[in-house]
Amino acid sequence: MMWIVKSVKRAFNVATWHFLPACKEIVKIISASIDRKLTVRERFVMRLHLAACEPCVHYLEQSQLLSSAARTIDQHLKSDLYAGQLSNEAREQIRNMLKASAKLF
């Protein structure tokens, strides 16, 4: 029985790879899926392709992860020294500027 399931799956994959757009086009649809609502056709093509193509599934997961990373990056800024800090000159300059303006307002 297993060999039947396997052959059907194999036939499905081959059909998907050959009759629908290849990965190069699909990754554009995957990128778009994160930013906007896909058209019915795009959704259909993407789902079929993802069922047959593991690297593209990873592409989708990675894109979602990077998106989420960008959206939450500020939560870590308080402690993240790698992101750098104001230089001493800038610090001094801004302090003086604040002092000068404080007198004006």
Partner 1 sequence: MQPAETATVEVTIEKVSPIDPSAWVDEHGDYLFRYAVVRLRDEDVAEDCVQETLLSAIQSIDSYSGRSTERTWLTGILKYKIVDHFRRSAREQPLPGNGPGDGDFDEFFQPDGRWKDHWQYDLMPVDWAISPEAAMEQTEFRSTFQRCLGKLPDRVAGVFALREMEGLDTVDVCEVLQLTSENFWVMMHRARMGLRRCMELNWFKKA
Binding site for partner 1 (CB under 8 A): 17, 21-25, 27-28, 31-32, 34-36, 53, 55-56, 58-59, 61-78, 80, 82-87, 90-91, 93-95, 97-99, 101-102, 105
Our CA angle for 43, 49, 50, nearest 5°, is: 90
The least distance separating partner 1 from the CB of residue 3, rounded to whole angstroms, comes to: 24
The least distance separating partner 1 from the CB of residue 41, rounded to whole angstroms, comes to: 16
How far apart are the C-alpha atoms of 7 and 5, rounded to whole Å? 6
- What's the length of the chain? 105
